[in-house]
């Protein structure tokens, strides 16, 4: 009989998750920690992150929070160094931090363009820059970047978000080529509409009300439901596990068939 826990090889691993205070990042943190991974939660929102971290610890699992502005190189370097000092290694990096500003090029401000690109795309560069050297020294690692269905196709009133997520996807492929020889797998998970504070914010930015009617509209896809953070977390877990040793430079769409 196959021992799935042994096959996954995740128990005892050290993972950094950015954007961990809410939404998909929080879902990944909860799921990973429940599987025996020690999660280092990185976010700028101390209050929300501490709430999630306390919940994880209360459940008997391992998570620590380190405040980090992922748009600042000094913060990203400090985070990576702190994890090495505390745990001795970084096995997994999940780049999940992101910002959505729902505008066309006509209505989008330069400030919001910079915010979306810095949080969503630049953060992947900065975190990877300071984590990859430690992974190389350790003989390998796993990086999963959170993209979007809109990394693969366009969306309305989301020009900065589409640009940033499209960049995340192509950056993933470039990193996979560069660091495959270092035994570092780099993949991208592209979610569809997930029931998170970000989706609520997008709805309200467009003048809508985040109610059951709106959620039903988002569920108009083959699987006929809105996604949950756990749907994404399970796919990220697979890519970070020992069950995906030869998967790199790939995009895994997790959207209930929305762009099928």
Domain assignment present for residue 216? The answer is no
pTM over 0.95: yes
Whether 210 is a known active-site residue: answer: no
Domain membership of residue 83 as a residue range: 13-194+226-247
Query: What is the tally of structural domains in the chain?
Result: 1
Spatial separation of the C-alpha atoms in residues 49 and 96, rounded to whole Å: 14
One digit per residue, pLDDT tens: the chain, 260 residues? Answer: 778 778 899 999 999 999 999 999 999 999 999 999 999 999 999 999 999 999 999 999 999 999 999 999 999 999 999 999 999 999 999 999 999 999 999 999 999 999 999 999 999 999 999 999 999 999 999 999 999 999 999 999 999 999 999 999 999 999 999 999 999 999 999 999 999 999 999 999 999 999 999 999 999 999 999 999 999 999 999 999 999 999 999 999 999 999 99
Domain assignment present for residue 68? The answer is yes
In the set 134, 161, 210, 214, the catalytic residue is 161
Domain with residue 51: its CATH number is 3.40.50.720
First to last CA, the chain: 35
Instruction: Give CA separation, 70 vs 53, 73, 99, 204, in Å.
Output: 19, 7, 12, 25
Domain assignment present for residue 218? The answer is no
Q: Which two tokens stand for residue 257?
A: 């068939």
């Amino acid at each position: 009989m196959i021992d799935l826990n042994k096959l996954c090889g995740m128990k005892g691993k050290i993972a950094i998750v950015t954007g961990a205070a809410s939404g998909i990042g929080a879902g990944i943190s909860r799921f990973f920690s429940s599987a025996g991974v020690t999660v280092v939660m990185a976010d700028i929102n101390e209050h929300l992150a501490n709430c999630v971290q306390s919940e994880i610890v209360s459940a008997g699992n391992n998570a620590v929070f380190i405040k980090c502005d992922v748009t600042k190189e000094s913060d990203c370097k400090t985070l990576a160094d702190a994890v090495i000092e505390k745990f001795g290694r970084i096995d997994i990096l999940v780049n999940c931090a992101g910002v959505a500003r729902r505008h066309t090029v006509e209505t989008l401000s330069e400030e919001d363009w910079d915010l979306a690109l810095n949080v969503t795309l630049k953060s992947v560069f900065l975190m990877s820059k300071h984590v990859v050297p430690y992974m190389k020294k350790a003989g390998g690692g796993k990086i999963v970047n959170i993209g979007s269905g809109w990394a693969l196709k366009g969306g309305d009133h989301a020009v900065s978000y589409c640009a940033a997520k499209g960049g995340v996807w192509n950056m993933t492929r470039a990193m996979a080529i560069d660091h495959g020889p270092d035994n570092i797998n780099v993949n991208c998970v592209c979610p569809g509409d997930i029931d998170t504070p970000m989706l609520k914010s997008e709805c309200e930015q467009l003048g809508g009300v985040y109610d059951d009617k709106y959620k039903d509209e988002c569920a108009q896809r083959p699987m006929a439901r809105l996604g949950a953070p756990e749907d994404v977390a399970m796919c990220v877990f697979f890519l970070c596990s020992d069950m995906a040793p030869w998967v790199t430079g790939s995009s895994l769409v997790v959207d209930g068939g929305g762009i099928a």
